[in-house]
Structure 1
Amino acid sequence: MASTDTPVNRLPLDRHPLFRSSDVDETRETMARVLCDHRLEVVDTRKPLDARMHSCRLNAVSLNYVHYGTEVEVTPGKTESFHVVQAHLDGNGVVRCGKREAYTEPGHAAVTTPTAPLRMRLSGTSRLLVVRFERTAVEAVLARHLGHPLRRPLEFELGMNVGVGRPAHWFSSLEAEITRANLDDTLLSDPRVVAPLEEQLITGLLLVQDSNYRAVLDGKVPSVPGGTVRTAVDLIEAAPDLPHTVGDLAAAAGVGIRALQGAFRRQLGVTPTQYLRDARLRRVRDELLAAEPDAGAVSRAARRWGFGHLGRFSGWYRHRFGENPAQTLRQ
């Protein structure tokens, strides 16, 4: 385990340490401030607790790394206000949520339901990613996909195979954003980055994990009234620097997210997110063409128009205009 602390193989979120402790009460109380009150028991008292937690709060999503250093039983009961995606990087565990039970290990995660009592047993080698999704945010995104309020509470299947298919792709994106959050503080401060990111993570979870709404989400995409796409396009073009999300655009157009995405694809051949990105790229290009060349001009323009990750921005810009931002600046 000592090797995981080396610079070559850094611990997740190591720039956001919350605590490290061998005391059960301190561990429980500190973790409760990020997650919820719970009972924590060391299974074999001959093997001391060596707990640590790294934690990074966005807005409606909290990214966490947890390690206990010994086998433990954790009993939160009903979390009520949030869902959890819990994934092993090492070790294994058994998670029970209501009447459901799942064996968890690398490649097999757990997705909890707030209204069902939660209990878990984790091996001493367990290193965990624990991602908290606020229940209100998840339900709001789901309602915007459906285009109407929820008629029953959302209930996820507990087990999630993140080793294959669409769940694997979603989980890889989650891991990438955890790495990004550890390296780029812009993610924590710019709502134009945070709001779409959280909506993207929640949307992905809803679409890849089985639930009592999955069949509806996989069903036929509703049609939209004429002028729906134009309404969304006008909002984007009027102020592409604002923290637009697809949910916000859909609500303004009076339709659900799925309906708006389908209409954009049919009429424009792109998603709302792609259209927004293109509008921002065009504004950056206009600014660079009018700017005096200097070392910080590209990064200032990119951040002004909502691009928090400069590497991704440069790739998108090059693909869109066939040249690097610096080449545009020198023209």
Structure 2
Amino acid sequence: MTLGVIRYGTDVTIERPRFDGFLAVLVPLCGQLAVEQHGHEHVAEPERSMVVLSPGHDDSRVRWARGTTVLALKVESAELNQALRWVAPQADERPFVASSPVVTGSASRAVIGTAQLFTDVFSRIGPSKSVPLPLARRLREQAITTLWLSVPNNHTDVIHQIREVPKSAHVRQAIDLLAAESRAEYTVPDLARAVHVGVRALEMAFRRDLDQTPLQYVHRIRLERAHDDLRDLGPSETTVTEVALRWGFPHLGRFAARYRAQFGEMPSETLNSPAQ
């Protein structure tokens, strides 16, 4: 999976033959982007729509107006197909095909939000260090899940169809897996795979049994584990940043806000408080 910003200083037309190897998402940040398929032209504009060139789409012609800046996300088809198994285990084997080459509404905002999260993480970690593996996996799976859930596609109806709510045993199994973590290891899709249900089905079970989503539960439990580390280790042994990243919170501002809401003090206050 790759993420970047593309800008041309002049009008550009790109002839793109059908290619089933990857999905390309182009989100205009400024300017205008047009895509033509089957003699029909679709136009994407900032904050309104984005271009999605997916496996299964025929030849396309993409035109960039001068000065157009685009956020580009590319995901290999094999990764998308593998992800479908845990997003919707009941889905068939067909590859991802977007319903239209231009997608409007909330989908582009969801993609931009995911890209912003990547940017925040990379800027905090810096170019000389690698992203911790559990955090990298979480970012990757969030991006792919966002595409499956937000971009209308040939599996959308199946993804959002809940055939059977799993038994409470699945919730207990997920809770046990989280309790055994020594750092942020499981994403919500990981948990769903481990207990042999789909992501949506696991969410329904958590809402029914605990009145919260799996992600809300994960955040609460990991905040508690972060609180324990900050209290027990002290400033000579760790930092707030290290603890936040260990427990899967890449955005330190959001981590601090959630931490304060749950414990009534900032993470730095816990870290620097006298040992109990």
Aligned to 2:13: 73
Per the normalisation by structure 2, the TM-score is 0.86
Q: Taking structure 1 as reference, are residues 300 and 113 closer, same or farther at Cα in structure 2, changes over 3 Å only?
A: closer
The one-character-per-residue Cα deviations of 1:51-81 (angstroms, maximum 9, x if unpaired) are xxxxxxxxxx211111121111112312322
SS in 1 for 2:90: coil
Aligned to 1:176: 116
SS in 2 for 1:96: strand
After the TM superposition, which segments of 4 or more aligned residues of structure 1 sit over 6 Å from their partners? none
How far does residue 263 in structure 1 lie from its aligned partner after superposition?
0.7
Do structure 1's residue 302 and structure 2's residue 236 form an aligned pair?
A: no
Aligned to 1:159: 102
SS in 2 for 1:129: strand
The one-character-per-residue Cα deviations of 1:146-173 (angstroms, maximum 9, x if unpaired) are 2235332321021112xx4x32541441
Aligned to 1:198: 140
Aligned partner (choices 111, 120, 125) of residue 185 of structure 1: 125
How far does residue 139 in structure 1 lie from its aligned partner after superposition?
2.1
How far does residue 234 in structure 1 lie from its aligned partner after superposition?
0.7
Q: How many residues align?
A: 268
Do structure 1's residue 136 and structure 2's residue 47 form an aligned pair?
A: no
| Distance across 2 between alignment mates of 1:111 and 1:273 | 28
The one-character-per-residue Cα deviations of 1:201-255 (angstroms, maximum 9, x if unpaired) are 2222222222121222233353113411111111111015143122221111011
> Structure 1: which 5+ runs fail to align?
1-60
Aligned to 2:170: 228
What amino acid does structure 2 have at the position aligned with 1:114? P
Q: CA RMSD in A?
A: 2.5
Do structure 1's residue 113 and structure 2's residue 54 form an aligned pair?
A: yes
Aligned to 1:13: none
Do structure 1's residue 249 and structure 2's residue 186 form an aligned pair?
A: no
SS in 1 for 2:183: coil
SS in 1 for 2:14: strand
How far does residue 98 in structure 1 lie from its aligned partner after superposition?
6.2
Per the normalisation by structure 1, the TM-score is 0.73
Aligned to 1:48: none
Q: Taking structure 1 as reference, are residues 204 and 311 closer, same or farther at Cα in structure 2, changes over 3 Å only?
A: same
Aligned to 1:278: 220
When structure 1 is superposed on structure 2, of 221-230 and 255-264 the one drifting more is 221-230
Q: Taking structure 1 as reference, are residues 205 and 99 closer, same or farther at Cα in structure 2, changes over 3 Å only?
A: farther
